[in-house]
Amino acid sequence: MTREALLVVHSGRKANQRVAAGVVQRLAAAGIRLRIFADEWTEEPLDLPVGMEPIPIEAKPQAAEGVEVVLVLGGDGTLLRAAELARPAGVPLLGVNLGRVGFLAEADPESLDEAITAVIESDYHVEERMTLEASVMLNGGPVRSSWALNEAVVEKVNRGRILDVVLEVDGRPVTGFGCDGVLCATPTGSTAYAFSAGGPVVWPDVQALLLVPLTAHALFARPLVISPSSAVAVELDARGYPAVLVCDGRRTIPVPPGARVELSQGEAPVRLVRLREQPFTDRLVRKFSLPVRGWRGAPIPPNPS
């Protein structure tokens, strides 16, 4: 039976296409056939084994069903796009950063060969990351729902206006204020928008939800770290202004005045490939270029002999 993988590429750069062509050739030589979105594949026909040509497909929800892994060449935005396909299929994602920070990616361009070898040999482990479920409710009934790996943000639509909101946790009001919006993030998303908005970095193995007010006009408007089993809601003033719910910067739902956005831990996680055991601290230092020069580490205990 032919092994298959799905390749998702940030195709806006010609260099990425060249990288993708090399990946196709190497995996095909190892007996792994790739599914590729037709609008992302513009290379000339490659010299590939018979029957191992890429399978052009459409970007439909079932695109990742039946594959071993979703291989992503691009930045975090490309990986979040690929997560929309990998999550419902329960397929792991392996990201190779061809963008800027690429915090979600497991490999950098210089370790691409290692990543491809790991796919060929199935030599990797999978880490599950919690997700968010977000629903817009109006007059007691659901309007629309979505999900997020990084964050779900309720933010204002009118730039010159302020949103009046009330935060609720586990069915009880916590505080209300005027603001630009409210962000709810997972530990994975704590290094994304939430970090830029002044929230704390949360280690991925900490199960928690993170609430971050965005430019709130209030004394008690600090980030909150709450239980992953908690139910969170953001209520909009019925006499106020409309907002929009944005999930991972990709999926949007209008939120009219008087509506509420309910947020909770998602039932289905996103599965990320890890090539090796690596402390999150090292990833944090490397991706953010943190100043650790001068660190000597803990003193080595004396030899008892």
Q: What is the mean pLDDT of residues 222-238?
A: 97
Predicted confidence at residue 49, as pLDDT, reads 76
Predicted confidence at residue 303, as pLDDT, reads 62
Q: Where are the domains of the chain?
A: 3-129+270-288, 132-265
pLDDT at 156 over 80: yes
| Residue percentage of the chain with pLDDT more than 90 | 72
Q: Which residue has the tokens 């209008």?
A: 254
53 vs 151, more confident: 151
**Which fold does the domain 3-129+270-288 belong to in CATH?**
Rossmann fold (3.40.50)
pLDDT at 176 over 60: yes
Q: What is the mean pLDDT of residues 262-271?
A: 97
Token duo for residue 146:
């979505």
How many Cα atoms are found within 13 Å in the side-chain-facing hemisphere of 32? 25
Single-letter residue type at 191: T
pLDDT at 244 over 90: yes
* pLDDT tier, 45 (very low <50, low <70, confident <90, very high otherwise): low
Residues forming a β-bridge with 244: 155, 254
- Residue from 39, 76, 180, 205 carrying the catalytic annotation: 76
CATH of 132-265, one of 2.60.200.30, 3.40.50.10540, 3.40.50.2020, 3.40.190.10: 2.60.200.30
Token duo for residue 126:
């999978």
133 vs 102, more confident: 133
Distance CA 103, CA 19 (A): 20
pLDDT in tens, 88-100: 999 999 999 987 7
261 vs 219, more confident: 261
> Phi-psi region for residue 248, left (φ > 0), alpha (ψ -120 to 50) or beta?
left
Predicted confidence at residue 302, as pLDDT, reads 67
* pLDDT tier, 304 (very low <50, low <70, confident <90, very high otherwise): low
Predicted confidence at residue 100, as pLDDT, reads 75
* pLDDT tier, 300 (very low <50, low <70, confident <90, very high otherwise): low
Global pTM value: 0.90
* pLDDT tier, 60 (very low <50, low <70, confident <90, very high otherwise): confident
* pLDDT tier, 17 (very low <50, low <70, confident <90, very high otherwise): confident
pLDDT in tens, 181-214: 999 999 999 999 999 999 999 999 999 999 999 9
- CA dist 138 → 122, 142, 241, 258, 264 (Å): 47, 6, 14, 7, 17
- Tell me the pLDDT of the chain averaged across its residues: 91
* pLDDT tier, 42 (very low <50, low <70, confident <90, very high otherwise): low
Predicted confidence at residue 66, as pLDDT, reads 94
DSSP code string of 178-198: EESEEEEE-TGGGGTHHHHTT
Give the torsion sign (CA, 190, 191, 195, 201): positive
pLDDT at 63 over 70: yes
76 catalytic per annotation: yes
* pLDDT tier, 54 (very low <50, low <70, confident <90, very high otherwise): confident
Distance CA 76, CA 108 (A): 12
